[in-house]
Chains A and B, each alone.
Chain A
Amino acid sequence: MKALLQARGLRLAFGGVKAADGIDLDVMEGEFLAIIGPNGAGKTTFINMTTGYLRPQGGTITYDGTEITGRRPREIVRRGIARSFQLPQLFSEHTVEENAALAIAAREGIWSPLAPLLRPAWQEEARELLGRFGLLPLAGQRADALNEGTRKLADIAMAVALKPRLLLMDEPTSGVAASEKMAVVETLARVLRDARVTAVFVEHDMDVVERFADRVAVWSQGKIAALGPPARILADPAVQRDVIGIERPATPGGVAAHA
């Protein structure tokens, strides 16, 4: 299997805070890679650098054999890297369906001033996409009328609509009700596998990580503290103490690790 994305020595500091302090990471074609780690560890910063929102102060990012370090978000998206956001970034005055259609338009070419956005082909695709995410009943609602969980899903659906090869998701399940979480991730994983999308996702729920990640990267103070298959990483006492213990104090394992 080849690496689709390669990060080498990524470095970025905000004032004295080292949000990225020498990040080396290979994302393999077709894998689901989970990123875990405490708040402020630099997980979002990694996604921001990869998608061109932030320019690293040092290091390189290579995607599919081409260096993309410091390129603009627009160019990086066109190469096949899409992202969803920790805080959903929807067009709040548009309906859910129009949000999806705008993403489809962005992919297919937005520069048509005479045909409507909701042309039959795009409307159909948008509805099909929303259906896969269980959002079809909300298609006609304005995006700002959604609750947090569905906003999150709509946000991810828009990224998926771009038909990326690599999708970076920042906390896709935060805000999704605990009772629905597994079903949502199940659906999402199926959509991504069907479309052969390589996925990197930041996740705080270790059950989700365990079940859906092929590999886990543990972020800590701008560094990758551990990397490997979930079974090994999640069992690591240091990871349990530093990451899981904080994130999941209610589980017996977490409490035991603390004690």
Chain B
Amino acid sequence: MTLPRIELLLALLGAAAMVLAAMATPWMKFVLTIALAKGIAVLGIMLLLRAGQVSFGHALYVALGAYAVAFLAPALPDAALLLPAAALVTTIAGTIIGLFVSRYREIFFGMLNLALSMVFYSMLEKFYHYTKGTDGIRVPSLGVAGLQLDRVTYEWTVFGTALALAFCFGLFARVYLASPMGQALAAIKTRETRLDFMGVSSRNVLLAAYVLSAMMAGCAGALIAMTSRHVTPLLSYWTASGELVFIAILGGAGGVLGPFLGAVAYELVRVYAAATVADMWQMILGAVLLLVILFARGGIWGLVSVRLQRRRTA
């Protein structure tokens, strides 16, 4: 079996395991929906990582997608319309901001994204009249494609949507990364000037990935708003951006399953840690990050794929 086949098989197995877990323990449905949403956002971050660029501000787009849902829900109380609306809003924002930040690299790129996300955070906090400040906004109950669903069916629908979106975005990211546009991302990392001397605008290559990553983060935010039914400025706080980068490193940027493995591991550990050793959560995070960086640079996916390749050659 080829690695892409194995990847697909693993994705399907993972999806089945998640469905079973969600059936067995109802609160798992919520945790896994959040994990899938974050995985989608991290997938976008992974595209940028391929170009060697780390955004420390992508929670901006998660929050923007979530607030788009919260703001539009009273007028448009249907998840099937709100999700594309959030994607559209974040695509537009990602294009406008991307035109600016795609000129910068490395620490400047990372910090500019961070700065913009903090500006957005304080706007959400300060314009109380519109955003209810730190209290945040409750999302009213939503229909789905014209149907009014009971609570459990609605939760399953959002979970299923997250799963389907994760699958589609994962598939798309795979194809994208193998395409000239995706391969040019890695070329930005290793030899950006050569791209220019070949007539390619490296800025536009990065911009395209940036807009995609903003849109993915926006969809993640919309899913989070739909499942938690409450949005607050904390969604765009810098620690939320850091969390996405953390998950990217934990899961591994070498394959499209990495972000989802990382996000599920992160959310599960977080839930259990909160229940058992609440005061040690940060310490656990720090220790795990240290271990990954020291011993498993490829993250969880790196460990898995090395095993698989060994087995194939053995």
A residues at B contact (CB < 8 Å): 51, 53, 72-74, 77-78, 82-83, 89-94, 98, 101-103, 105-107, 110-118, 158, 162
Select from chain B the residue with minimum beta-carbon distance to A105: B180
Complex CA gap A83/B205 in Å reads 22
Q: Chain B contacts of A89 at CB under 8 A?
A: 191, 193-194, 197
Contact B198 A103 (CB under 8 A): yes
Partner of B198, one of A53, A102, A118: A102
Contact B179 A117 (CB under 8 A): yes
Q: Chain B contacts of A72 at CB under 8 A?
A: 196
Contact B179 A94 (CB under 8 A): no
Complex CA gap A116/B182 in Å reads 9
Contact B178 A51 (CB under 8 A): no
Output the least CB separation between A34 and chain B (Å). Answer: 22
Complex CA gap A94/B197 in Å reads 17
Select from chain B the residue with minimum beta-carbon distance to A75: B199
Known: A74-B200, A116-B179. A110 touches B194 (CB 8 A): no
Size class of the contact patch on chain B: 20 to 34
Q: Chain A contacts of B11 at CB under 8 A?
A: none
Contact A115 B187 (CB under 8 A): no
Q: Chain A contacts of B180 at CB under 8 A?
A: 102, 105, 110-112, 115, 117
Complex CA gap A97/B233 in Å reads 48
Most buried by B among A77, A102, A158: A102
Q: Chain A contacts of B183 at CB under 8 A?
A: 94, 98, 101-102, 105, 117
Contact A51 B197 (CB under 8 A): yes
Known: A112-B180, A117-B180. A74 touches B194 (CB 8 A): no
Partner of A82, one of B197, B205, B208: B197
Complex CA gap A92/B52 in Å reads 13
Contact A93 B181 (CB under 8 A): no
Q: Chain B contacts of A162 at CB under 8 A?
A: 198-199
Say whether B282 faces chain A, with CB atoms less than 8 Å apart. Answer: no
Say whether B190 faces chain A, with CB atoms less than 8 Å apart. Answer: yes
Q: Chain A contacts of B205 at CB under 8 A?
A: 110
Output the least CB separation between B190 and chain A (Å). Answer: 5
Q: Chain A contacts of B194 at CB under 8 A?
A: 89-91, 158
Output the least CB separation between B309 and chain A (Å). Answer: 16
Q: Chain A contacts of B191 at CB under 8 A?
A: 89-92
Complex CA gap A110/B207 in Å reads 14
Total inter-chain residue pairs, C-beta < 8 Å = 92
Complex CA gap A103/B184 in Å reads 10
Contact B197 A91 (CB under 8 A): no
Contact B179 A106 (CB under 8 A): no
Contact B184 A73 (CB under 8 A): no
Known: A111-B181, A115-B179, A117-B183. A73 touches B197 (CB 8 A): yes
Contact A102 B181 (CB under 8 A): no
Known: A115-B179, A116-B179, A117-B179. A73 touches B190 (CB 8 A): no
Q: Chain B contacts of A111 at CB under 8 A?
A: 180-181, 208
Contact B178 A110 (CB under 8 A): no
Complex CA gap A112/B232 in Å reads 38
Say whether B189 faces chain A, with CB atoms less than 8 Å apart. Answer: yes
Contact B195 A116 (CB under 8 A): no
Complex CA gap A78/B199 in Å reads 6
Output the least CB separation between B305 and chain A (Å). Answer: 17
Known: A74-B196, A74-B200. A113 touches B176 (CB 8 A): yes
Say whether B314 faces chain A, with CB atoms less than 8 Å apart. Answer: no
Select from chain A the residue with minimum beta-carbon distance to B204: A111
Complex CA gap A20/B36 in Å reads 59
Complex CA gap A116/B176 in Å reads 8
Complex CA gap A113/B178 in Å reads 8
Select from chain A the residue with minimum beta-carbon distance to B181: A113
Most buried by B among A89, A90, A118: A89
Say whether B186 faces chain A, with CB atoms less than 8 Å apart. Answer: yes
